[in-house]
Chains A and B, each alone.
Chain A
Amino acid sequence: MKKNIIVIICMILSINVFAQEAKDKHLAKLPAVEIQDLNGNPFNTQDIQNDGKPVIISLWATWCKPCIAELLAIADEYEDWVEETGVKLYAISIDDAKTSARVAPFVKGKNWEYTVLLDVNSDFKRAMNVNDVPYMCILNGDGEIVWQHTSYAPGSEEEVYEVIKSLVKK
């Protein structure tokens, strides 16, 4: 019972923090988590940047159908998006040891132009408090998270593009 009370206090406190955050428009930045690039070299998520231009981050997996549908839909538009806004998409796979070796052939087979990273121990997923994939977020030129979304419905890539365009206009 004591534990429950502590937890409730925790919750209230966190909500309090959350509310304050919203008031101050205090935008979060990405946590610094060590993940890997496709060669298996370490990559710190704090190094995700795009020279002051917006960044899209997608958390996905080779076994997740809606994730692939979303990345496929964006792949069709990606060339135009890059040309118009200079955006860069980081596709961070949460495939673990069983399937992570297959990420590179999968991505190449799909002809994706994204920067692909591997979060094999789900450390970045946990640090971002992500429950389920697909998860997508957009960073502005200062690396602040300005938009987040979970799950994929066909057409939601249009909203992603709207957000990016508004960031570039500013």
Chain B
Amino acid sequence: MNFKSIQRVLLATFLFLCCWSANAQHQFGNSRVSGDFGFNGMYYIPDSIIGADPVDSKVRGNAFLNILYTNGGFSAGARYEFYMFPLIDFEKIGYQGQGIKYFFADYTNKFISVTAGNFYEQFGNGLTLRAYEDRQLGIDNSLLGARIKLTPYKGIYIKGVWGIERYNFDPYLGRQDYVRGADVEFSFGEMFPKMQQKGFIARVGANVVSKFEKSEQDIYFYIEDSTEAGSTAVIPSDKIPENVATWAARGTFGYKDFRIDAEYARKMNDPNLPNEFIYKPGEALFLSATYSRQGLGIAASFIRADNMEYRSQRWENNNSLLMINCIPAINRQYSYQLIGDYSYASQPNSQIGAQLQVNYQIPKKTALGGKYGTDITFNYSRFHDIDKVPVQEAIDNGTPMGTMGYTSSFFKFGPNLLYQDIGLEISHRFNNKKWKWILAYNYITYNLEILQGHEGMMRGHLVASDLSYKITPKHALRLELQHLYTKDDDGSSVYAMLEYSISPSWFFSIGDDWNYGNPLEDHKVHYYNISCAYVWNTTRIALNFGKTKEGILCVGGVCRAVPASFGCGLSVTTSF
């Protein structure tokens, strides 16, 4: 049976279930059909100064519809996506097409859960396997296949997966790669409730993931040498591993307010395009320690990743495509407009870094705390590339390809600083509750060359203020002011945004991001934006008009490029 026929059978089942539930709604109170719909469209206007090039079709949009059927432990669902003329950001990453690329049926009870079709899954912290979706970024790494989860005894969890990873709108049919894996976890707190009652947490887990990809072609590569033509070398196809395994072991230990998480992962030899076809094994270590009590929270984490890009296909090097695992970026994420472009992107092949965050509340009803307390957040993070010493063979050959590549001493920070952030944020509500103020300062160092491919480093000071004022219980104003001071990249910018909201339904905003410090006189552009949104229960309709700066969009350390654009947008989301 091929995939098309599987798809058809599932669709038919699904349709049947829809009809059945529509008629059976009264008899079976538990059966339910729900869904959600989203549309995001834009009319593009060319603007040569900001770099918004004319596009072949001016009206573009992304749309999807999710339908979900549930009845007790059984559920089934499908998503239809229409991205034939997608927003230009999505076209750039190849997310273009239409069809049902996500459908599943699932049965779950206390001991077993079985899923057939597409599923999202994560083992541990995701160092070896993380199939997930981020619609904003255009990432959908769901696996099409089967998953089984077992709970044979209280506190013991076993998972097994097999599947083919989604590759935008390309057919699954004829694919020569797949992923399989198994994970086991023991939660001692659940096995021995007395332990948990005394405040101890102990949990350990381990997993193995393996990808298979057929190797039929020799890999040729060009080496620069003294001759003008250079020379070529080859890795024969039978020397390329078809199975690449990763394994990981993890543990979580806690006592009362303290908690430590640790995970170590290792990848077998995996010559691929992003690592320049080297045979060196990869490894990653993730550590996190937290302490929290009422009014205080401290979190520290460490990550080291060396050659850990793990994909279904060895020739793929697009940012987010076909990634099987996800090496987390542990820096603090900000939503400030002016530093959006300088968000750190996780570097799974080479990064070592640490992060510390402290959240503290100055107690309520004190001089500094005021009636509602004052929240303070301090943050520091620093990431470097890893230390690398090329192996002799790579030096002799003039290329790392086909060799062990390099050696690296484990805890040594590499020569290049990738990202550093020192931040302080204070949030205070005034006694009459009408005023709320958040004030933030950040000093950011961002490696433009390694993270974005431009030259140099960006060092910038950001001051941001977010002031809210409740005019009446339903009407509120919010004013955001930001200033980024930097001599690097595009220079300094200021940003102001005023939002007026009538609870619970209406939002109006007007904002301007002015790149006043741009070294080029005619690039000192105002990126203005006007928007209006209406919310009714779970339906949201938003209209906006304005300019978007060329930059990057990051969600959780995973980033994609955002092309410059100018135009009018409409977005509708609803669920039912």
A residues near B (Cβ < 8 Å) are 3-4, 6-7, 9-11, 13-14, 16-18, 20-21, 24, 26, 28-29, 31-32, 34, 39-42, 63-65, 69, 72, 76, 96-99, 101-102, 104-111, 120-123, 126-132, 135, 147-151, 153-156, 158-159
Contacts and interface: CB of A to CB of B under 8 A. Distances in A.
A63 B329 CA distance: 13
Majority secondary structure, B binding face: strand
A97 B294 contact: no
Contact of A102 (B299, B433, B501): B299
B299 A156 contact: no
Nearest to A16: B22
B119 to A, nearest CB: 10
A111 B201 contact: no
A121 B293 CA distance: 26
A24 B292 contact: no
Contacts of B54: none
Contact of B538 (A76, A120, A149): A149
A107 B535 contact: no
Given A14-B35, A129-B35, A6 B190 contact: no
Contact of A109 (B19, B297, B574): B297
Interface in B344-381: 357-361, 364, 372-373, 375, 377
B532 interface: no
B203 interface: yes
20 contacts: A3-B100, A7-B65, A10-B80, A17-B25, A32-B108, A39-B201, A98-B556, A105-B299, A105-B357, A105-B359, A107-B297, A110-B359, A127-B68, A127-B75, A129-B34, A129-B35, A131-B540, A150-B573, A151-B507, A155-B473
A163 B545 CA distance: 35
B548 interface: no
B126 interface: yes
A150 B535 contact: yes
B100 A131 contact: no
A108 B470 contact: no
B38 interface: yes
B243 interface: no
A65 to B, nearest CB: 5
A148 B537 contact: yes
In the complex, which range does the number of interface residues on chain B fall in?
A: 35 or more
Given A7-B100, A158-B473, A39 B189 contact: yes
A151 B562 CA distance: 24
B540 A150 contact: yes
Interface string B285-309: 0001011111111110100000000
B556 A96 contact: yes
Contacts of A96: 122, 126, 132, 556
A129 B36 contact: yes
Nearest to B359: A109
Contacts of B359: 105-106, 108-110
B68 A129 contact: yes
A156 B504 contact: yes
Contact of B556 (A3, A16, A99, A131): A99
Of A10, A32, A126, most buried by chain B (CB within 10 Å of CB) is: A10
B502 interface: yes
A121 B122 contact: yes
B22 A108 contact: no
Given A39-B254, A111-B294, A121 B377 contact: no
Interface string B1-37: 0000000000100110011011001100110111110
Query: Across chains A and B, which 8 residue pairs bring their CB atoms closest together, nearest first?
Result: A109-B359, A105-B297, A155-B503, A109-B297, A108-B292, A154-B476, A156-B504, A98-B328
Contact of A151 (B73, B126, B474, B535): B535
A109 B25 contact: no
Contacts of B377: 109
Contact of A14 (B11, B33, B540): B33
A70 to B, nearest CB: 11
A150 B538 contact: yes
Given A39-B201, A111-B295, A158 B535 contact: no
A102 B187 CA distance: 20
Contact of B80 (A7, A105, A149): A7
Contact of B573 (A4, A9, A10, A132): A132
Contact of A108 (B196, B297, B573): B297
